[in-house]
Structure 1
Amino acid sequence: MRPLRYVALGDSLSEGVGDPVGNGWRGWAALLAGGLSEPAAEFTNLAVSGAQTRDVLETQLPTALSLRPHVASVVVGVNDTLRGTYDIDKIAERLDKVYASFTRQGTAVLTACLPDPGTMLGLPGLLGRPLARRQRAVNTVVHTLSERYGAVHLHAVDDDWIGDRAMWSADRLHPGERGHRQLALRFHAMLAKRGIATGTEPSPEPEFPPPTRSASLLWLATAGTAWVIRRCNDLLPQLLRLAVTEMRHRARGTCGRLDLRAAQAVSTALASLTVPEARALAEPRLVAEHRSVAAKLALPDGLSLPGPRPVPGHQPEPEAA
């Protein structure tokens, strides 16, 4: 019997940052792989720190498809929100292509919605809200496309452990060993329900003691500082502009407009993924997805999304009398 093959795609979260083992990282994906099957699953980790959706589509996906995995995790998007090149249309298009490619190959896809980096870092509201708005948009795209493709989707942003500081590493952006184990446990449980995971579930208990305070401070002063410098060169100027815009809307009491624009952008991005020829047939489903988008973005009271744009040349069927 051929062993189950599992490939992880994504960024530093799937690479395992925050869960050091030896001279490298382990992380939730490796922990999950250990409990997927007997004999042990063949595991390949293609995730790279700093990766964006573009990197997953253009670099990681071709290699992953060549391995013809039974299971593939695609957890990415946070880095897109931290870049000046953030574009929800392109993010949705790339993820759609990645999910579709695995689905055509018969691969079970694992996805996740994640907390926004501003909240995890404790940024002040004027800086944190724009990042939170971006992450909500990415999460809505991931959630909606996961439903569309039947992916195994973990809505991790609502998990209780997310708010437990003991679950996170010193940088507050990556889980520590305990947090990685929680991710592995939750994915394993969902895969077991589908009959895909047949091995022993990962243990929630850490194998290693947490890093000492001095070790954590040393990491922040070296690798952490380098990370901040790399991100600030690209993000900081744009984040300041976003903060100024946020401040202006706050002074006018019109912050809801920013939420509405973000929701409209997500709705447009998702609607544009359906080819024109097939869209007329998919109209009822698109309406349902459109309503789901509005619900997931939690628009302020009194704001709502406009309906999906009509398909050119398509006349809706009359309702039955």
Structure 2
Amino acid sequence: MAPLRFAVLGDSLSEGVGDRVDGAWRGWAALLAEGLGSPRQPVEFRNLAVSGAQSREVAEQQAPQALAFRPDLASVVVGVNDTLRHTFDIEQLARRLDRVCADLTASGAVLLTACLPDPGRMLGLPAPLARPLARRQKAVNALVHALSARYGAVHLHLADALWTDDRSLWSADRLHPGERGHRAIAARFHALLAARGLAHGAPPSPEPEQPPPTRTEALLWLATAGTGWVARRCHDLLPQLLRLAGAELRHWADGTAARLDRRAEHALSAALAAVSLDAAVATMGE
């Protein structure tokens, strides 16, 4: 029997950041891959995800490699990094993801997708800073919901409170899952795939194999790699985010904050229309 091919497209979440084994990132996708095959059908696994990737990199660099691999399963989980850039454009994001999903589906792949928590909430940012990021991530999630319905994807909800409020699932940076979180994602995807007859091995264990990082290790990470992560994104995003926060405060003071929500909803509607998606399938409340 031909091997089952599993390709992974996306950013640091899919690369496995937060789940380090033997000096390298492992992550939910590798854990899931171990439970997909059977003695008669091995799995060929290719992780193309790269930390920091945006939808442009997924569409222009990762998707062609995935198509050449001719996967049976392909995960496409991306969008958070787009929301953290001053160039964020929900319509461009919609066009890119729609093309990636269309091409992979046409090649015969079953898609795996996920909606994600907004980074402002995860980082506990003040409301004027958090609200603009929340609107962006809600728009991305609404788009992903609509595309998942269009292409019959195996879709996982990772933006609900049961997931985001359980701190045992998250690493020290508060943005990436730890080992327990990666195992939870893998197990949830495995259950959905098994229900479709697409996972034939044992589900991954929910219990971590590695000891959790000590407080000293967590603080060291935040002082080194974590500080670098924030600095790289602040250089690009912070000036615009401060302007957005200023607009939030002005509208709040004027009692017109609802205008910003309506503006985001109109932008989402235009993005869905650009790729001929029904706005009724997606809501900004996701």
Match of 1:278 in 2: none
Match of 2:146 in 1: 144
Q: What is the letter of the counterpart of residue 17 of structure 2?
A: V
Matched residue SS, 2:159: helix
Task: Give the alignment of 1:159-178 within 5 angstroms.
Answer: 160-178=162-180
Matched residue SS, 1:172: coil
Distance in 2 (alpha carbons) for counterparts of 1:188 and 1:263? 33
Match of 1:116 in 2: 118
Match of 2:35 in 1: 35
> How far apart are residue 298 of structure 1 and its match?
3.3
1:73 corresponds to which of 75, 83, 88: 75
1:171–1:96 CA distance, 2 compared to 1 (3 A): same
Q: Is the 8 A contact 2:3 2:44 kept in 1?
A: yes
Distance in 2 (alpha carbons) for counterparts of 1:172 and 1:86? 22
Task: Give the alignment of 1:95-134 within 5 angstroms.
Answer: 95-134=97-136
Matched, 1:23 2:23: yes
Over residues 14-68 of structure 1, what are the superposed CA-to-partner deviations in whole Å (9 max), with x where a residue is unaligned?
Answer: 0000000011100000000000111441111000000000000000000000000
Distance in 2 (alpha carbons) for counterparts of 1:273 and 1:20? 38
Alignment: residue pair count: 284
Over residues 233-276 of structure 1, what are the superposed CA-to-partner deviations in whole Å (9 max), with x where a residue is unaligned?
Answer: 100000000000111111111111111111111111111113xx
Matched, 1:7 2:11: no
Q: What is the letter of the counterpart of residue 12 of structure 1?
A: S
Distance in 2 (alpha carbons) for counterparts of 1:272 and 1:240? 29
Q: Structure 2: where are the runs of 5+ without partners?
A: none
> How far apart are residue 161 of structure 1 and its match?
3.0
Percent of aligned pairs sharing the same letter: 66
Over residues 200-246 of structure 1, what are the superposed CA-to-partner deviations in whole Å (9 max), with x where a residue is unaligned?
Answer: 11110111110111111111111111111110110000000000011
Q: Is the 8 A contact 2:94 2:143 kept in 1?
A: yes
Runs of 4+ in 1 over 3 A off after TM superposition: none
> How far apart are residue 291 of structure 1 and its match?
2.2
Match of 1:265 in 2: 267
Match of 1:201 in 2: 203
Relative contact order (C-alpha < 8 Å, sep 6+): which is higher? 2
1:53 corresponds to which of 52, 55, 58: 55
Q: What is the letter of the counterpart of residue 2 of structure 2?
A: R
Matched residue SS, 2:61: helix
Q: TM-score, normalised by structure 1?
A: 0.87
Match of 1:298 in 2: 285
Over residues 67-107 of structure 1, what are the superposed CA-to-partner deviations in whole Å (9 max), with x where a residue is unaligned?
Answer: 00100000000000000110000000000000000110110
**RMSD (Å), alpha carbons:** 1.2
2:242 corresponds to which of 240, 243, 255: 240
Matched residue SS, 2:225: helix
Matched residue SS, 1:73: strand
Over residues 175-223 of structure 1, what are the superposed CA-to-partner deviations in whole Å (9 max), with x where a residue is unaligned?
Answer: 0000001100111111111111111111101111101111111111111
Distance in 1 (alpha carbons) for counterparts of 2:128 and 2:200? 47
Over residues 288-315 of structure 1, what are the superposed CA-to-partner deviations in whole Å (9 max), with x where a residue is unaligned?
Answer: x32233xx2139xxxxxxxxxxxxxxxx
Comparing 31-40 with 61-70, greater Cα deviation is found at 31-40
